[in-house]
Amino acid sequence: MNELPELPFLSRVSLAIGSFFALLGDGRLAARVQALRSGAPLASEVPPPAPAPVQAPSPPAPVPAPAPVRATANVDAALQLLALLQRESRFVDFLQEDIGAYSDADVGGAARLLHGGARKVLQDTFDLVPVRTEAEGSRLTLPAGFDAAAVRVTGNVVGQPPFTGTLQHKGWRATAVRLPALTEGHDTRVIAPAEVEL
Amino acid sequence: MSGAKYAIGIDLGTTHSALSWVDLHSEGAAPEILPVAQQSGPGAVQDYSLLPSFLYVPHDSEFAPGDLALPWNAAPGRITGEWARSHGALTPIRLVSSAKSWLGHAGVDRRSGILPADAPPEVERISPLAASTHYLQHLRDAWNHRHPEAPFEQQSVTVTIPASFDPAARELTAEAAQAAGYHGITLLEEPQAALYSWIAGSAGDWRKQVQVGDVILVVDVGGGTSDFSLIAVTEDAGNLQLNRVAVGEHILLGGDNMDLALAHGVARGLAAEGKQLDPWQMRALTYACRLAKEQLLSDPGLQSVPLVVPSRGSKLIGGSIRTELQRELLSTILLEGFFPAVESSARPVARPRAGLTQIGLPYAQDAAVTRHLAALLGRQVGATAQLPGFAQPEGATFLHPTAVLFNGGVFKSELLTDRVLSTLNAWLAADGAPAARLLHGADMDHAVARGAAYYGQVRQGQGIRIRGGTAQAYYVGIESSMPAVPGLEPPVQALCVAPFGMEEGSEAPLPPQQLGLVVGESVRFRFFGSSVRRDDQPGTLLDFWSPEELQELAQIEATLPAEGRAAGEVVPVQLRARVTDIGTLELLAQASEGAAGGAQWKVEFDVRDA
């Protein structure tokens, strides 16, 4: 029997929050968690059955591990954003169409439509600010302990900070995200419903 | 309302509604806008600062269960706001729109289910009153959802109405608010609310921007109506006072008509190239025209803006129609069509127009806002005659405004404010008067709601109050006792029952004339209003009047219950007019003599088919 090691408290908090949304969104996962809570052993805890001589070993049952839980929680938001982009700017239609056959003028016309709508979605959904306020092309110095997630250094990366270099891209950071609230049971996988005129 | 923590102002608009609120306990607090949660698509709820005044009645199988849910209602039967507007454009037979215009339309029964106007029989129809109630309820629920600590019912609430609403429409608005669970509301005219918002936004600076002797013209062009008011600045014991001296007529003409007219203009050009647009594309074109209009109006250097009408299918590029909105077309339609530089003697003309009307509503016959304005100023040339220091110069052909405040989304464009101001100033110059100046307003979209919330503060004694009272004198039509002439209607006399300028909570003196009411029967009277006869007192009897002087309103109806009286008995009554604290006009029939002496019965405004 392979007992799993105990998780630290913070990981348990993030798992609990992630699981909350994952369970709301995934009925099958919820059923499995319910079985687990009522004492059913995990596949990894069950001793493997004695191998049958002529049968290939069955694939191991999937384990409800933290990673897929987080992925499930993000899927709704991603689908929601895609649906918004499609509704306001025909984003999916544009990308799914083969533009090779059209002239630049035709593509440009559609791009205008896409730009106007997608921009509205971007502005409605996110508050965006540049990561660095300096003008692109200017020289700047990164002190020791700079936020490596917000600033990416490239090129001659040697020695110890402070680093001095040229700002190539000012970066973007979302300071607020406002996705529409979702109603219970809404199927976000429908990005655009088929339309039938009666 | 005593004990209220907040003053709430509600702009119940033809195309958009909004809620603003302000803390009554912190002096000088600025009104804020409530983000209104509403359905934005299937299964999605979003906050917007405006609630589009649209209601969609979905088919039972149209949406998945739960897709309509609101935070406070798991299964509402209707869609309200943003999604109602966008989806309803595709299925107009289920869309209720312009409920407010219908509420002010004397030609229909406003309590019966008539909307959507072109719905097939199986679609449930609702009354303009019920639709207005629904929007007010939605705003109340949105407030309660966000502010559970301060229940809506306990706050001081002001609801705005067009200054041009007649007594019946005012009463219906108050009735809708009561049906929506509002208590102790006050009605406020929208142009006044816009001025209040300007005062609130100037943070005390307004006293430097206006002076005694100013006549402020408020031009409020909303999505569906145009509304004018004139406010005179006077002085009392060293303090500035604001007096609303006149309001314009009810004009159903607004920004939405302008977008539609532009789209039809562009569509005509496409049709000439052999490209026909279906209704779906027409809607997309109207939307594109609105955006292009805003671009052209805000950037005078642009000569044209490309328009793309997407195909409805999933082929976006292949099926799109590309065209452009030229500045020339914009100027022709918008500036020359809606804001032509006319003479001050110009008056609205009746002529058939294309692309502006919707069946049923009495839209303005003349699309020219400037001509309606000229008519108002010409009619109200004597509006300030009774105010000391406001004598209009000899030979003035119209009332001379000295300052202009604009409100409404279309006036975000300087091109349009410039056009109205320059037209007005040309009139003033021709009359030898100094030019009017522009009062810089703040928030064209939310000023009315903000001003209404500010008015809640004013009612508590913080800040200046605009005095006004009723903007019309009211008359009851009585048949004169002349010998009948065959083939001619008996001549009608107009008996004044309510003088001009009655303040909230005041009562007019009884006119001496008695009318006979028959017990147990309902008696209808013709009812008139005048915005120019300022001196008539209750009891004044008019034999003749010009159409300019008196306008006929929906009829009024009195029914005397048979309590203790023989049916058919004639009881002499006098009509007493009262303006309620809410701001509605109330007419009472008061028995003048006999056993019933002093008893009163309410006279109803007939809101049914006139």
pTM: 0.82
How far off is chain B from A146, nearest CA to CA, in Å?
37
Q: What's the complex ipTM?
A: 0.70
What pLDDT shows up at residue B135? 97
Q: What is the DSSP letter of B106?
A: T
Beta bridge partners, B524, equal B557
The more confidently predicted of residues A49 and B129 is B129
Q: Residue B583: CA atoms inside 13 Å, Cβ hemisphere, count?
A: 25
Residue B587 one-letter amino acid = L
- Shortest alpha-carbon distance between residue A75 and chain B (Å): 15
Q: Residue B491, Cβ neighbours under 10 Å: how many?
A: 13
| Chain A residues with beta carbon closer than 8 angstroms to that of B42 | 186, 190, 193
Q: What is the pLDDT of residue B570?
A: 81
- Rounded CA-CA distance B452/B158 in Å is 6
CA distance B265 to chain A (A): 20
Residue B67: Cβ-neighbour burial (10 angstroms; 0-12, 13-18, 19+): buried
Let me know: does B520 contact B568? Beta carbons within 8 Å.
yes
Q: What pLDDT, on a 0 to 100 scale, did the predictor assign at position B170?
A: 93
User: How far, in Å, CA of B326 to CA of B304, rounded?
Assistant: 4
List C-alpha distances in Å: B71 to A23, B38, B67, B532: 21, 9, 12, 50
Per-residue pLDDT band at A73 (split at 50, 70, 90): low
Please name the residue of chain B whose CA is at the shortest distance from the CA of residue A111. Answer: B317
Give the CA count within 13 Å in the CB-facing half-sphere of B5: 8
CB B436 within 8 A of CB B428: yes
Q: Which H or E run includes B133?
A: helix B128-146
What pLDDT does residue A56 have?
44
How many CB atoms within 10 Å of residue B251? 25
Q: Are B314 and B432 spatial neighbours (Cβ–Cβ below 8 Å)?
A: no
Which residues, including other chains, have CB under 8 Å from residue A197's CB and lie 6 or more apart?
A: none
Structural domains of chain B sorted by starting position, each given as residue range(s) with its CATH number in brackets: 6-187 (3.30.420.40), 255-338 (3.90.640.10), 473-605 (no CATH)
Residue in B closest to A193 by C-alpha: B42
Mean pLDDT by 10 residues, chain B (610 residues): 84 94 87 94 91 93 88 92 88 89 85 86 92 97 95 94 91 94 92 92 84 92 90 86 90 88 91 85 84 82 86 81 89 91 88 49 85 93 83 84 91 88 95 90 83 91 85 86 67 89 88 82 87 90 86 84 74 88 88 68 71
User: Looking at CA atoms only, how far is residue A175 from chain B in angstroms?
Assistant: 18
Contacts of B420 (CB under 8 A, 6+ apart): B219, B339, B369, B370, B373, B404, B406
Instruction: Say how many Å lie between the first and final Cα of chain A, rounded.
Output: 62
Cα(B223)–Cα(B219) distance, integer angstroms: 13
Chain B residue with minimum CA distance to A187: B43
3-state secondary structure at position A198: coil
Whether residues B46 and A180 touch (CB distance < 8 A) is answered with: yes
List of chain B residues whose C-beta atoms are within 8 Å of the C-beta of residue A195: 312
Q: Which pair of structure tokens corresponds to residue B599?
A: 């008893």
- Rg of chain A, C-alpha, whole Å: 25
C-alpha separations of B560 from A97, B474, B523, B524 in Å: 73, 22, 9, 12
For residue A57, the model assigns a pLDDT of 47
- Which chain B residues are Cβ-neighbours of A196 within 8 angstroms? none
CB contact (8 A) between residue B308 and residue A193? no
Residue A42 has a pLDDT of: 52
For B480, half-sphere exposure in the C-beta direction (CA atoms, 13 angstrom radius) is 14
Per-residue pLDDT, A36: 55
pLDDT at B107: 76
* Ranges assigned E (strand) in A23-90: none
Q: Which residues of A touch B40 (CB under 8 A)?
A: 180
Whether chain B has a CB inside 8 Å of the CB on A164: the answer is: no
pLDDT over 70 at A1, yes or no: no
Which residues contact residue B205 at a Cβ distance below 8 angstroms, ignoring those fewer than 6 apart?
none
Give me the total of CB pairs closer than 8 Å, taking one residue from chain A and one from chain B.
Answer: 84
Instruction: Give chain B positions within 8 Å (CB) of A185.
Output: 43, 64-66
Cis check: omega of the bond before B35, within 30 degrees of 0: no
Contact yes or no for B441/B198 (Cβ under 8 A): yes
pLDDT of residue B351: 55
> By the CB < 8 Å criterion, does A178 face chain B?
yes
- Residues contacting B140, CB < 8 A, separation 6+: B152, B180, B181, B182
Q: Which of A54, A32, A52 is nearest to A43 (CA)?
A: A32
Identify the residue among B309, B316, B321, B324 best suited for mutation to test binding to A, counting A beta carbons within 10 A and taking the highest.
B316
Beta-carbon contacts of B95 under 8 Å, excluding residues fewer than 6 positions away, are B54, B55, B56, B57, B84, B85, B88, B89, B116
According to the model, what pLDDT value does residue A40 have? 54
Nearest beta carbon to residue A106 from set B65, B291, B317: B317
Contact B169, B103 (CB under 8 A): yes
User: Which sign, positive or negative, has the C-alpha torsion B448, B449, B450, B454?
Assistant: positive
**Mean pLDDT rounded to a whole number for chain A:** 76
Q: A107 and B291: CB-CB below 8 Å?
A: no
> Which pLDDT value is given to residue A54?
45
Q: Is A41 helix (H, G, I), strand (E, B) or coil?
A: coil
Burial of B309 (0-12, 13-18, 19+ CB in 10 A): buried
A64: pLDDT strictly greater than 60 = no
Nearest of B505, B532, B522 to residue B586 by alpha carbon: B505
- Most B-contacting residue of A90, A99, A183 (CB-CB within 10 A), to test interface: A183
Out of A90, A113, A182, name the one closest to residue B43 (CB). Answer: A182
Q: Minimal Cα distance from B320: which residue of A?
A: A110
Q: Does A104 touch chain B (CB under 8 A)?
A: no
H or E, element range at B572: strand B570-579
Where residue A5 falls among pLDDT bands split at 50, 70, 90? low
DSSP state of B218: E
What CA–CA distance (Å, rounded) separates B485 from B483? 6
> Which tokens is B457 given?
């503060």
